[in-house]
Amino acid sequence: MNTWDDKEDGAVGPAFKPLTAEEASALRVKEPPLSPWRVLGVQMAVGLVAALLAGLATGRQEAAWSVLYGAATVVVPGALMARGMTSRLTSMSPGTSAVSFMLWEMVKIAVSIAMLALAPKLVQNLSWPALLVSLVLCMKVYWLALLWRGRAQRR
Protein backbone atom coordinates (compact mmCIF):
# COMPACT_ATOMS: atom_id res chain seq x y z
CA MET A 1 0.00 0.00 0.00
CA ASN A 2 1.36 3.38 -1.01
CA THR A 3 1.35 6.03 1.69
CA TRP A 4 2.36 9.64 1.85
CA ASP A 5 4.17 11.29 4.70
CA ASP A 6 3.47 14.88 5.62
CA LYS A 7 6.70 16.08 7.17
CA GLU A 8 5.05 19.00 8.98
CA ASP A 9 2.74 17.00 11.26
CA GLY A 10 3.89 13.45 10.68
CA ALA A 11 0.49 12.35 9.35
CA VAL A 12 0.50 9.21 7.27
CA GLY A 13 -2.43 8.21 5.07
CA PRO A 14 -3.28 6.15 2.04
CA ALA A 15 -2.38 7.47 -1.40
CA PHE A 16 -5.17 9.10 -3.37
CA LYS A 17 -6.71 6.79 -5.97
CA PRO A 18 -9.17 8.16 -8.54
CA LEU A 19 -12.40 6.20 -8.89
CA THR A 20 -13.20 4.30 -12.03
CA ALA A 21 -16.53 4.95 -13.76
CA GLU A 22 -17.96 1.76 -12.21
CA GLU A 23 -16.75 2.67 -8.72
CA ALA A 24 -18.19 6.18 -9.04
CA SER A 25 -21.52 4.77 -10.19
CA ALA A 26 -21.60 2.30 -7.29
CA LEU A 27 -20.79 5.11 -4.85
CA ARG A 28 -23.68 7.22 -6.24
CA VAL A 29 -26.04 4.29 -5.71
CA LYS A 30 -24.73 3.65 -2.20
CA GLU A 31 -24.73 7.34 -1.20
CA PRO A 32 -27.32 9.23 -3.26
CA PRO A 33 -27.07 13.01 -3.14
CA LEU A 34 -29.40 14.88 -0.82
CA SER A 35 -31.87 16.96 -2.83
CA PRO A 36 -32.00 20.62 -1.81
CA TRP A 37 -35.70 20.61 -2.77
CA ARG A 38 -36.41 17.88 -0.20
CA VAL A 39 -34.64 19.90 2.50
CA LEU A 40 -36.63 23.01 1.52
CA GLY A 41 -39.86 21.00 1.63
CA VAL A 42 -39.08 19.79 5.14
CA GLN A 43 -38.15 23.35 6.19
CA MET A 44 -41.48 24.58 4.84
CA ALA A 45 -43.35 21.82 6.68
CA VAL A 46 -41.52 22.61 9.94
CA GLY A 47 -42.42 26.30 9.51
CA LEU A 48 -46.09 25.55 8.86
CA VAL A 49 -46.34 23.20 11.86
CA ALA A 50 -44.53 25.72 14.08
CA ALA A 51 -46.88 28.51 12.94
CA LEU A 52 -49.91 26.35 13.65
CA LEU A 53 -48.59 25.42 17.10
CA ALA A 54 -47.71 29.06 17.89
CA GLY A 55 -51.18 30.18 16.87
CA LEU A 56 -52.84 27.47 18.96
CA ALA A 57 -50.54 27.91 21.98
CA THR A 58 -50.78 31.68 22.18
CA GLY A 59 -54.21 32.21 20.70
CA ARG A 60 -52.69 35.15 18.83
CA GLN A 61 -52.70 35.33 15.07
CA GLU A 62 -49.71 37.69 15.17
CA ALA A 63 -47.50 34.98 16.69
CA ALA A 64 -48.44 32.54 13.93
CA TRP A 65 -47.69 35.13 11.22
CA SER A 66 -44.37 35.97 12.87
CA VAL A 67 -43.41 32.29 12.94
CA LEU A 68 -44.49 31.84 9.33
CA TYR A 69 -42.47 34.86 8.24
CA GLY A 70 -39.42 33.52 10.09
CA ALA A 71 -39.76 30.25 8.20
CA ALA A 72 -40.12 32.15 4.92
CA THR A 73 -36.91 34.02 5.73
CA VAL A 74 -35.13 30.67 5.54
CA VAL A 75 -37.13 28.96 2.78
CA VAL A 76 -37.35 31.74 0.16
CA PRO A 77 -33.60 32.52 0.02
CA GLY A 78 -32.86 28.79 0.17
CA ALA A 79 -35.15 28.19 -2.80
CA LEU A 80 -33.42 30.95 -4.76
CA MET A 81 -30.03 29.38 -4.05
CA ALA A 82 -31.25 25.87 -4.86
CA ARG A 83 -32.69 27.09 -8.16
CA GLY A 84 -29.48 28.87 -9.03
CA MET A 85 -27.24 25.96 -8.06
CA THR A 86 -29.26 23.37 -9.98
CA SER A 87 -29.12 25.27 -13.28
CA ARG A 88 -27.07 23.95 -16.19
CA LEU A 89 -24.74 26.93 -16.10
CA THR A 90 -23.40 26.01 -12.66
CA SER A 91 -22.35 22.52 -13.74
CA MET A 92 -20.27 23.59 -16.74
CA SER A 93 -16.90 23.39 -14.98
CA PRO A 94 -15.51 23.19 -11.44
CA GLY A 95 -14.49 26.86 -11.58
CA THR A 96 -17.93 27.95 -12.73
CA SER A 97 -19.50 25.84 -9.99
CA ALA A 98 -17.35 27.43 -7.29
CA VAL A 99 -18.04 30.98 -8.46
CA SER A 100 -21.73 30.20 -8.87
CA PHE A 101 -21.89 28.78 -5.34
CA MET A 102 -20.33 31.93 -3.90
CA LEU A 103 -22.63 34.17 -5.95
CA TRP A 104 -25.80 32.32 -4.94
CA GLU A 105 -24.69 32.19 -1.31
CA MET A 106 -24.30 36.00 -1.36
CA VAL A 107 -27.76 36.32 -2.95
CA LYS A 108 -29.18 34.05 -0.24
CA ILE A 109 -27.61 36.12 2.54
CA ALA A 110 -28.70 39.43 0.97
CA VAL A 111 -32.32 38.26 0.53
CA SER A 112 -32.38 36.94 4.11
CA ILE A 113 -31.14 40.26 5.48
CA ALA A 114 -33.61 42.20 3.32
CA MET A 115 -36.49 40.02 4.50
CA LEU A 116 -35.50 40.51 8.14
CA ALA A 117 -35.23 44.27 7.61
CA LEU A 118 -38.69 44.36 6.01
CA ALA A 119 -40.31 42.14 8.65
CA PRO A 120 -41.66 44.98 10.87
CA LYS A 121 -43.28 46.60 7.83
CA LEU A 122 -44.77 43.41 6.41
CA VAL A 123 -45.98 41.63 9.57
CA GLN A 124 -48.38 43.56 11.79
CA ASN A 125 -47.57 43.34 15.52
CA LEU A 126 -44.42 41.36 14.74
CA SER A 127 -43.13 39.11 17.51
CA TRP A 128 -39.35 39.01 17.09
CA PRO A 129 -38.88 36.08 19.51
CA ALA A 130 -41.40 33.98 17.56
CA LEU A 131 -39.80 34.95 14.25
CA LEU A 132 -36.29 34.13 15.48
CA VAL A 133 -37.32 30.80 17.02
CA SER A 134 -38.87 29.66 13.75
CA LEU A 135 -35.86 30.94 11.82
CA VAL A 136 -33.54 28.81 13.96
CA LEU A 137 -35.88 25.80 13.79
CA CYS A 138 -35.98 25.92 10.01
CA MET A 139 -32.23 26.38 9.73
CA LYS A 140 -31.67 23.32 11.93
CA VAL A 141 -33.55 21.20 9.38
CA TYR A 142 -30.24 20.98 7.49
CA TRP A 143 -28.78 19.02 10.41
CA LEU A 144 -31.88 16.88 10.65
CA ALA A 145 -31.66 16.10 6.93
CA LEU A 146 -27.99 15.11 7.26
CA LEU A 147 -28.75 12.88 10.26
CA TRP A 148 -31.70 11.36 8.41
CA ARG A 149 -29.49 10.68 5.40
CA GLY A 150 -26.80 9.11 7.61
CA ARG A 151 -29.28 6.71 9.19
CA ALA A 152 -30.73 5.71 5.82
CA GLN A 153 -27.23 4.92 4.54
CA ARG A 154 -26.37 2.68 7.52
CA ARG A 155 -29.26 0.36 6.80
- pLDDT 10s per residue in the chain (155 long)? 555 555 555 566 667 788 888 888 888 788 777 788 888 999 999 999 999 999 999 998 999 999 999 999 999 999 999 998 888 777 777 788 888 889 999 999 999 999 999 999 999 999 999 999 999 999 998 888 777 766 655 55
Please give the angle made by the CA atoms of 34, 114 and 103, to the nearest 5 degrees.
50
Question: Using CA atoms in the order 88, 89, 95, 100, what is the torsion angle rounded to 10 degrees?
Answer: -110
Q: Which residues of 104-126 are buried (b: 16+ CB within 10 A; e: fewer)?
A: beeebeebbeebbeebeeebeeb
Q: Sign (positive/negative) of CA torsion 37, 148, 146, 77?
A: positive
Q: How many residues does the chain have?
A: 155
Helix 128-139 and helix 141-154: axis angle, to 10°?
20
Q: Where are the domains of the chain?
A: 35-154
